[in-house]
């Protein structure tokens, strides 16, 4: 199944449409040769497995070259986005050697998850709460929005590494990426598989004006100071689940 990073080696897959996973989008990595024939084969198998479900597809790597890079112009549109852009630009001003020359570096994180996050409207806390309290998970979007997710321990280590290497990072922005590029439903399915428990979902499809795909290019920080995220998504989910179980059960 397509629950792995696009950066991992292509391996054999098994397609199954079961109520346990209840996926709306199935992501599959394909070898670059014979894509047309492979896609046709998958469509034929899909018709056998789920004849009542329509078959449609798109190629995620068509947009993979559009990862957010540090040198791209900040262009927030919603109030929250604009506030983030403002803090970023103000930090650049204070770090500018011709202005205040302060020891500042800028970290731009992927979506952070992990213990301590009590915003249950986020997909990871919301899914874990639904599992612990045995209730349906209400997904505000259509379940197909793609984001990148980074474990809180990785983000903290990234912050510390940037601070410890200010001689190389001062005044610059760095993306803290993880390669966990997943749709909303993929996140739910990966949590379900990691904890070996089913999750009942309700797709509300109420979200409007959201960016369809959003993820980061983390190559700059790795080239500059050698840092990259190392946490395993499934193990991180298990650690996070244990924390929520203690907090929500008390």
pLDDT tens digits, the chain, 250 residues: what are they? Answer: 344 445 555 555 555 554 444 445 667 777 777 788 888 888 888 888 878 777 776 666 655 555 778 888 887 777 888 898 999 999 999 999 999 999 999 999 999 999 999 999 999 999 999 999 999 999 999 999 999 999 999 999 999 999 999 999 999 999 999 989 999 999 999 999 999 999 999 999 998 777 888 899 999 999 999 999 999 999 999 999 999 999 998 7
Give Rg (Cα) of the chain: 20
Report the residue count for the chain: 250
Residue 169 and residue 227 in contact, taking contact as beta carbons nearer than 8 Å: no
* CA dist., res. 78 & res. 71, Å (int): 21
**Neighbour-count burial of 239, counting CB atoms closer than 10 A to its CB (0-12 exposed, 13-18 middle, 19+ buried):** middle
Per-residue pLDDT, 40:
85
Q: Which residues are catalytic?
A: 80
List, in order of start, the domains of the chain with CATH numbers: 74-249 (3.40.50.720)
Q: Spell out where 17-140 has E strands.
A: 106-109, 111-113, 137-139
Per-residue pLDDT, 92:
94
Per-residue pLDDT, 21:
42
Element (H, E) at 83: helix 79-95
């Amino acid at each position: 199944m397509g629950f792995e990073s696009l950066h991992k080696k292509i391996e054999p897959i098994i397609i199954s449409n079961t109520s346990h996973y209840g996926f709306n989008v199935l992501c599959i990595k394909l070898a670059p040769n014979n894509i047309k024939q492979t896609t046709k084969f998958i469509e034929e198998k899909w018709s056998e497995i789920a004849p009542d479900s329509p078959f449609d597809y798109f190629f995620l790597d068509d947009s993979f070259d559009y990862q957010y890079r540090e040198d791209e112009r900040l262009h927030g549109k919603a109030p929250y986005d604009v506030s983030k852009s403002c803090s970023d630009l103000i930090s650049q001003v204070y770090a500018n050697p011709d202005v205040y020359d302060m020891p500042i570096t800028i970290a731009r994180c992927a979506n952070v998850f992990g213990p301590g996050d009590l915003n249950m409207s986020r997909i990871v806390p919301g899914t874990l709460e639904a599992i612990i309290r045995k209730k349906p998970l209400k997904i505000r979007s259509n379940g197909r929005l793609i984001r990148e997710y980074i474990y809180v321990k990785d983000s903290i280590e990234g912050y510390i590494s940037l601070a410890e290497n200010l001689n190389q990072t001062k005044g610059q922005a760095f993306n803290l990426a993880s390669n966990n590029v997943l749709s909303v439903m993929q996140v739910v399915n990966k949590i379900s598989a990691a904890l070996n428990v089913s999750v009942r979902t309700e797709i509300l499809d109420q979200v409007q004006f959201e960016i369809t795909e959003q993820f980061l290019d983390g190559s700059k920080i790795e080239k500059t100071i050698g840092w990259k995220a190392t946490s395993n998504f499934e193990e991180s989910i298990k650690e996070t689940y244990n924390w929520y179980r203690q907090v929500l059960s008390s």
